Amino acid sequence: MHNVEKSTLVAADSVSARVGSGRRFLLCRPSHFDVTFEINPWMNRENRPDRERSFSEWEGLRQALEGCGAQTFAQDSVEGLSDMVFPADIAVVRGGRFLRAKFRHEERRAEAAYGAAWLTTNGFAELEPLTDAEAFLEGGDVLAFADALVAGHGFRTTRSAHEHMAAVFQSEVVSIQLRDPRLYHLDMSFCPLDSRTAIMAPSAWDEKSRKRVLDLVPDPLVVSEAEAMNFSANSVVIGKNVVMSACSDGLAAALEARGITVVVSSIGEFLKAGGGIRCMTLDLNLGSR
């Protein structure tokens, strides 16, 4: 049992009151990052991350985000919660309110309380949480496109959680069925760039979901399977910049043709746990640019 302690919180004066004035992200220091269990195809306890390189990559990502004009906040990690370094999953945050995650895997469940404690301490209001024992929700399955929330289900999040999310945020939720266990969260195959364009790997979804997304997105930027497996869609957009862990020449040219600057930030140690750049950053106002 993990108890939430104030030492794990980094208070920022009413962060929620300022979410509309620029991009803000919560990161979690990798002090206890490791691969100590295997809950996705990328994790292998025999391929452990290097602590020194992890800190260097984490700091490099923080600087890349801030270099693009974002503001970052850092939460301390907790011993025994080796995946806590991926705070995108702990909640869905929008308009100064948040819906707490309900993790499917026991190894990650304690993270939600630490995330909720940070958010409430910093002025965010918690919405009615999921109570259905059979319902699960992870923030990596939820993104915003235009006026809708786009949400994945199949591996970590249940379809029933989408219905609850639509009700508490009073928003349309477009449900996407995930079918590739390597791309187990939606943010590994879908990255909205603006109100018209999104990076996507439609092969990760079932046929009905592919049609739904292609109808929704006027200018789809479809990546290859190889690009998807390089975590190209698991990226963070800040204005006309996209921070990525890797970018092929073809994808870079397609982005640049749309007026988007690519900023590459290497996070190879974190990929060993199956987490990319979007996984490492909790968006404190989902849907803002």
Catalytic residues: 185, 279
**3-class state of residue 209 by DSSP:** helix
Answer for the pair 166, 173: CB distance below 8 angstroms, yes or no: yes
219: tokens are 């200018």
Are 150 and 174 spatial neighbours (Cβ–Cβ below 8 Å)? yes
Q: Are strands 173-177 and 148-153 parallel, antiparallel or unpaired?
A: parallel
- Dist. CA 39–CA 60, nearest whole Å: 27
- Rounded (5°) CA angle 88-198-99: 30
CA 157, 48, 190: angle at the middle one, nearest 5? 35
| Alpha carbon 245 to chain centroid, angstroms | 14
**Residue of 199, 207, 196 whose CA lies nearest to 145:** 196
